[in-house]
Structure 1
Amino acid sequence: MYYPLTVRDFLDRAERVFPDRIAVVDEPDQPATPLGSPTYRDVGTLARAQAARLDRLGVPVGGRVAVISQNSARLFTSFFGVSGWGRVLVPVNFRLTTPEIDYIVRHSGAEVVYADPSCAGVLDGLDVPHKFVLGDDDALYLHGVEPRPWDAPDEAATATINYTSGTTARPKGVQLTHRNLWLNATVFALHAGVGDRDVYLHTLPMFHANGWGMPYGVTGLGGRHIMLRQVDGTEILRRVEEHGVTLMCAAPAVVNAVLDAVPHWDGEIPGRDRVRVICAGAPPPTRTIQRILDDLGWEFMQIYGLTETSPVVTVNRMRAEWDGLDSTERARRLSRAGVPALGVRVDVDVDGEVLTASNHNLDGYWEQPEETAKAQAGGWFHTGDGGYVDDEGYVVISDRKKDVIISGGENVSSIEVEDALMSHPAIREVAVIGTPDEKWGELVTALVVTDGSAVTAEELIAHCRTRLAGYKCPKRVDFAESLPRTATGKLRKFKLREPYWAGHDRQVH
């Protein structure tokens, strides 16, 4: 018997098994009226009411619905209220500028756009049939009306389109199917040991690869979601204490914010021997991992993946064979990307690029067949990351072959930043690279050749801010007389990176 896997399965189970259990504790400090602490029965009611409203608006199965929002209960509900009835969710990074958001909305063909009140101003410039502000619930939900059933649920149907910066100046829309998301969430939950007693703190923005699958996995297993709108180290510690948090996912910069708050925390660090923190985005320094183990007393786990892989590719978690090791050695072993997750295959080609094949891999790039074919050549997804497999079978990411910088957990396209800088009249040549930084992992660094005018680094950064989201703009600008190129005129970025990464055993941070 064949039964299609869809993301609604996770909510259906939670409603059936845990109807009266609190599902979500909404962010209390937000411009919209918080939803409070709805139960799983309440979340199911809201999801159906959202689907019914989309029916009334005439959005068909396969229609795209974009959401621009920080973490909130309404965004969480949309993961089910949109995709659960066959439509396609397009989660948009709220940090982007209006032109960047406009491109994503137009490229995806979204018919409906929801925006957090703090982003409501962007709606005015969007040419879409239906625009709503999250919090105007009478417009979002149609209560008392059952939504039209999804007559032919299809696990191969696109459930979400997630836009990611990559090797092109424009972001690419990653099409993830219900099957991709279902299997990723299930495998991730299995490796992370998620259960019905877990309390999950959303330190990870949910637009990032759909919260890595935790909105689905934690829901299906009856855990509690704690919404966090803005990352702050002290506030994270406070919510760990207040809500009994057991699990969170975070980029290295978020973990560093928590560690920075430790000296200022009054009393015992909450969550010792209880919290599991799962890190990804870039491999954190071994010293950071050791401090998580020693200073916080939290379990550290690392995964490696990309939006295109839903994202879980490899997993590195403490194992029984390491129990007798001191924290320094455990941290060293945990600093590797990990071993392939269940059902995932990993290889490294002759050029040192990490390849992966799994049921989590994207269906394709939205309306970009050539990019899709390139990324999936030979039946493997080409990650664009350089690495190797060590003697114990662990994948180590050592370099980034594609023009992507990961800063504070956000992907930044070097090409996109270079385009913004080249639009300044004083710039003649430019190369943008990632350089090591303890706080952000990698720093967006621009090396520029000017026309000889007295333009300053501050002026160039300000120029970029008129075109790019703040996190994409260079944090450092170095001036040069020329940039090294190959005989065919291609920039030799590895040469430019060398002096910045001297003394590091890998060129990712």
Structure 2
Amino acid sequence: MITTSEIVEELRSVPTIGALLALRCGEHADEPFLVWRDEVTTYAEFDEDVARVAAALVELGVGRADRVAVMMANCPDWLALWFAVVRLGAVVVPINTAHKSAGLRYLLDHCRPSVLVLDPERVVHLDEAQPEHRPGHVLTSVPRSTTTPPPEPADLGLHSPAAILYTSGTTGPPKGCLLPHGQYLAASFLHADACGYDEHAVIYTCLPLFHINAQNYTVLSALAAGGTVALDDRFSASRFWDRLTEVGATAFNFIGSMAVSLWNQPVRESEGKHSARVAFGVPLAPEVWESWEKRFGVRVVYTYGMTENALPAIVDARETPVPAGRRGSSGRASPTSEIVIADEHDRPLPAGEVGQILTRTTIPWTMMTEYLDQPGATVEAFRNGWFHTGDLGYLDADGYLFFVDRLKDAVRRRGEMVSSWEVETVVSQYPGILDCAMIGVSSELGDDDILVVLVTEDPAFDPALLVEFCAERLAHFQVPRYVRRVDDLPKTQTQRVEKYRLRRDGLLPGDWDAGPRRPPRRDPDRRSG
């Protein structure tokens, strides 16, 4: 794996996103940078387009430290606008395209952009939102100038702000993470090396560009390697492998339920025709890990990270396929980070004990600078010199990190800590389950009981059989008591379940109840008629 000193040296020579693009343009001017549908754009063509967009932004009065918000679906214009903004020393503010009304108003009032670029069909949402601080320029297409000379890149450094990315807001109002150029660059160098990317890499993503995954671990990783970005605007489980073949992908990224959706698809001939050999993403159940890799012909590169702290832990592709005992591990601390597991008083815990995951950087300006205009939240997150992730996990004796759960999602039951991820992994293996989420609900015994909320394709689904299935595979304190069927789970556009909405509902009259004791075990493969 690339070393800390090697990343530092890379950052000395390439201190900004714009400098990285300029370097690669000099090396690979006529090579493909972007594949979008039937269009291929070379490095030189992309750089020329970025310059025209930057010139148009200057005509609008955009300068250093100004904020440019973008609320567009994936497309080449999104990328051109992003690189043009950071070339000027301005700050890009990606906005989830699902936002509307109060949610959109909150973001615009909080970040106060001077320019907002959004898809034409989303203008109605802006009108509904009625932000107090309406942007000075609202555009329904990315501007380009043919008269103003391309501006010189701003004099920037690793510390210069590059973006404000908002957290998903699954537990409260989104927080704006102010990310410097150094974080983007360090993560891209690290990720490209860990995945084994080079100038021949074609990295496919259908994840939204407003998310750190598509930005850092596809676009900038490809740029770091001198490779190619293959971009789509949406995920299709039935067309996924065909798309990999059509664009010549050598790697792809996944998040959320994508891995489960692909696994649950009927076996197709196209699964064996693609050229991708690396799949980067989380989560993937250890029980199907080996079979998933063999079926789809890829090696899974796993990681742990957040918008705030990039990649504090990662599995190197040279370590894959990982042995059975380490499937699900996020790897060891990366060259850019240190990791410790701590108790509620920030005291380090020994190997094997579960506590909060704390991280800090080994290289300056390689993680979030602050939560925008929220000094209290920033101080709390960085107390005692460590970033507090809000995640539970443990380190094994060899320093491999294992994620357990979000602090707010973990449930204490019968005196034991229950991981929602572990329960959801088992529930999702039950035939016919399309999606699921676990939350804790109040119990008459004083601690929590477990409710699973799920989407199933079986009209004759019997929750009692699901509970028995879980009883065969989980510890007694992990077995769900309540089951609820829904048509869809509430999710963010990055496919994270909004569990705060499920917790807010609590128990509902129609929820199935197994009672305070586990039901007797029967054949888990039986089905009711």
Aligned to 1:218: 222
Q: Is residue 2:359 matched to residue 1:356? A: yes
| 5+ long unaligned stretches in structure 2 | 1-8, 345-354, 412-419, 444-453, 455-485, 510-516, 519-529
Q: Is residue 2:137 matched to residue 1:130? A: yes
Report percent identity of matched pairs: 23
Aligned to 2:521: none
How big is each residue's C-alpha offset from its partner over 1:271-328, in whole Å with a ceiling of 9 and x where there is no partner?
36x4211113xx421133223212111111101100101x2111124556x77xxxxx
Q: Is residue 2:437 matched to residue 1:443? A: yes
How big is each residue's C-alpha offset from its partner over 1:391-418, in whole Å with a ceiling of 9 and x where there is no partner?
222001113214699xxxxxxxxxxxxx
Partners in 1 of 2:137 and 2:185 — Cα distance? 29
Assess if the C-alpha contact under 8 Å between 1:444 and 1:472 holds in 2: no
Please list, as runs of the form range in 1=range in 2, the aligned pairs for 1:95-114 lying within 5 A after superposition.
Answer: 95-114=98-117
Aligned to 2:302: 302
1:312–1:262 CA distance, 2 compared to 1 (3 A):
farther
Q: CA deviation at 1:342?
A: 1.5
Q: CA deviation at 1:355?
A: 0.6
Secondary structure in 1 matching 2:31:
coil
1:229–1:131 CA distance, 2 compared to 1 (3 A):
same
Which sits farther off after the overlay, 350-359 or 300-309?
350-359
1:404–1:11 CA distance, 2 compared to 1 (3 A):
farther
Aligned to 2:6: none
Aligned to 1:386: 392
User: Counterpart amino acid of 1:374?
Assistant: E
Aligned to 1:278: 280
Q: Is residue 2:483 matched to residue 1:479? A: no
Aligned to 2:464: none
Q: Is residue 2:50 matched to residue 1:56? A: no
User: Counterpart amino acid of 2:358?
Assistant: L
Partners in 1 of 2:20 and 2:304 — Cα distance? 24
Secondary structure in 2 matching 1:443:
strand
Aligned to 1:341: 334
Aligned to 2:149: 146
1:194–1:468 CA distance, 2 compared to 1 (3 A):
closer
Secondary structure in 2 matching 1:233:
coil
Q: Is residue 2:50 matched to residue 1:47? A: yes
How big is each residue's C-alpha offset from its partner over 1:362-409, in whole Å with a ceiling of 9 and x where there is no partner?
10000111110111111111111111111222001113214699xxxx
How big is each residue's C-alpha offset from its partner over 1:147-199, in whole Å with a ceiling of 9 and x where there is no partner?
33344323211100000035862110000001111111111111111111011
Partners in 1 of 2:151 and 2:271 — Cα distance? 52
Q: CA deviation at 1:333?
A: 1.8
Assess if the C-alpha contact under 8 Å between 2:201 and 2:227 holds in 1: yes
Aligned to 1:371: 377
Assess if the C-alpha contact under 8 Å between 1:22 and 1:40 holds in 2: yes
1:116–1:256 CA distance, 2 compared to 1 (3 A):
farther
User: Counterpart amino acid of 1:316?
Assistant: V
Q: Is residue 2:20 matched to residue 1:16? A: no
Please list, as runs of the form range in 1=range in 2, the aligned pairs for 1:170-249 lying within 5 A after superposition.
Answer: 170-209=173-212, 211=214, 213=216, 214-249=218-253
How big is each residue's C-alpha offset from its partner over 1:10-32, in whole Å with a ceiling of 9 and x where there is no partner?
2112211111122112246xxxx
Aligned to 1:156: 159
Partners in 2 of 1:210 and 1:224 — Cα distance? 16
1:129–1:200 CA distance, 2 compared to 1 (3 A):
same
Assess if the C-alpha contact under 8 Å between 1:89 and 1:161 holds in 2: yes
User: Counterpart amino acid of 2:437?
Assistant: L
TM-score, length of structure 2 as denominator length: 0.72
TM-score, length of structure 1 as denominator length: 0.75
Partners in 2 of 1:220 and 1:396 — Cα distance? 28
Please list, as runs of the form range in 1=range in 2, the aligned pairs for 1:391-406 lying within 5 A after superposition.
Answer: 391-402=397-408
Aligned to 1:330: 323
Secondary structure in 2 matching 1:361:
coil
Partners in 1 of 2:34 and 2:293 — Cα distance? 28
Aligned to 1:313: 312
Please say which structure displays the higher CA radius of gyration.
2
Assess if the C-alpha contact under 8 Å between 1:112 and 1:129 holds in 2: yes
1:212–1:128 CA distance, 2 compared to 1 (3 A):
closer
Partners in 1 of 2:318 and 2:183 — Cα distance? 27
Partners in 2 of 1:268 and 1:63 — Cα distance? 46
1:440–1:49 CA distance, 2 compared to 1 (3 A):
farther
1:402–1:84 CA distance, 2 compared to 1 (3 A):
farther
Q: Is residue 2:73 matched to residue 1:79? A: no
Assess if the C-alpha contact under 8 Å between 1:252 and 1:441 holds in 2: no
Aligned to 1:25: 35
Partners in 2 of 1:394 and 1:370 — Cα distance? 32
Assess if the C-alpha contact under 8 Å between 1:174 and 1:308 holds in 2: yes
Aligned to 1:427: none
Partners in 1 of 2:301 and 2:435 — Cα distance? 17
Q: What is the RMSD of the two structures over their aligned residues, measured on CA atoms?
A: 3.5
Secondary structure in 2 matching 1:479:
coil
User: Counterpart amino acid of 1:8?
Assistant: G
1:397–1:41 CA distance, 2 compared to 1 (3 A):
same
